[in-house]
């Protein structure tokens, strides 16, 4: 049996119910935050909770708990869900933590009371990608799309959901969004290209992911140049390397964009260095 948190209670997931009049259901009015629990620690907790609060403030939803209370709820859920499956002294498995908050019960069909939200937290087993993605690289499809309010993590994933079938039929890992010729982000990841040893990633019209920001920090600390700016799809197709970043995928090399191979189609030295730095950062618990 799996347990979740909903509006003040920890209860079995199959008993968790949300009103059919919830504005998150009726109008898609809600935000979402996804975190990785690694080595018994929520990876970059402060960054995630700050982004969660920023998004809630934008939607004018009042989060009904302090940061500490939310963190305590998450670890209560971890204990409730996995404590009976862990051997004494065993290492806690890596988990995905997902928080969703909506405006709660709709008023008049389209308004809401910001003080009475629906707040839901649940855990998922982390399922690593096949190792070949990291050794041989991934492919992405390209789609022209600018997310509404891209700097906030809303629950609007309509375009992403619609593109799941063509993405899978193409055998690709992700969907790369472009807009007016510029590369933005992937559906559930951030995106980097590497040119002449410089890491380039979009600065605007994207959700600045936590893993993205950590990679930028680590790269600069290692003496690599990182350029946050607009860049075109044509530039990307002439790049030396490319990779994507995500809380649930970490750092994944990309060797093909649409029908175009990036450089020689092999995972480049800079990308390998970034993958190694990020893996070390996760392993040492420096976060």
pLDDT of 52-71, one tens digit each?
Answer: 999 999 999 999 999 999 99
Same domain for 253 and 143 = yes
At 1 the pLDDT is 74
C-alpha to C-alpha distance for 183 and 273, rounded to whole angstroms = 23
Same domain for 163 and 37 = no
Same domain for 120 and 137 = no
In Å, what is the CA distance from 20 to each residue of 17, 27, 32, 171, 226? 9, 11, 19, 36, 46
Same domain for 17 and 102 = yes
Q: Domain limits at 224?
A: 132-284
Mean pLDDT in order along the chain per 10 residues (287 residues): 94 96 97 94 97 97 98 96 67 92 96 97 96 97 97 96 97 98 98 98 97 98 98 98 97 98 97 97 77
163-174 per-position pLDDT tens digit: 999 999 999 999
Same domain for 111 and 20 = yes
Q: What is the CATH number of the domain that holds 261?
A: 3.20.10.10
Q: How many domains, in total, are found in the chain?
A: 2
Q: CA-based diameter of the chain, in Å?
A: 58
Same domain for 142 and 227 = yes
222-263 per-position pLDDT tens digit: 999 999 999 999 999 999 999 999 999 999 999 999 999 999
Same domain for 149 and 112 = no
Q: What is the CATH number of the domain that holds 13?
A: 3.30.470.10
């Amino acid at each position: 049996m799996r347990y979740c948190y909903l509006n003040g209670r920890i209860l079995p997931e199959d008993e968790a119910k949300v009103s059919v009049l919830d504005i998150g259901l009726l109008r898609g009015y809600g935000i979402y935050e996804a975190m990785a629990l690694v080595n018994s620690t929520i990876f970059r907790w402060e960054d995630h909770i700050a982004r969660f609060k920023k998004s809630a403030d934008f939607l004018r939803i009042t989060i009904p708990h302090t940061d500490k209370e939310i963190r305590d709820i998450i670890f209560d859920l971890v204990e409730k869900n996995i404590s009976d499956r862990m051997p004494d002294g065993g290492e806690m498995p890596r988990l995905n933590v997902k928080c969703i908050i909506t405006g709660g019960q709709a008023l008049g069909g389209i308004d809401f009371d910001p003080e009475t939200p629906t707040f839901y937290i649940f855990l998922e087993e982390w399922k690593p990608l096949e190792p070949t993605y990291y050794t041989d690289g991934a492919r992405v499809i390209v789609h022209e799309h600018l997310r509404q309010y891209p700097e906030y993590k809303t629950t609007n994933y309509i375009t992403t959901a619609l593109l799941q079938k063509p993405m899978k039929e193409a055998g690709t890992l992700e969907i790369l969004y472009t807009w007016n010729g510029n590369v933005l982000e992937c559906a559930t990841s951030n995106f980097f290209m590497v040119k002449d040893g410089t890491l380039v990633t979009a600065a605007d019209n994207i959700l600045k992911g936590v893993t993205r920001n950590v990679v930028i920090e680590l790269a600069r600390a290692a003496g690599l140049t990182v350029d946050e700016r607009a860049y075109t799809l044509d530039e990307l197709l002439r790049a030396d390397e490319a990779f994507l970043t995500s809380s649930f995928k970490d750092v994944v090399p990309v060797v093909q964009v649409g029908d175009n191979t990036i450089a020689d189609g092999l995972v480049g030295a800079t990308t390998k260095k970034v993958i190694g730095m990020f893996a070390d950062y996760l392993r040492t618990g420096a976060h």
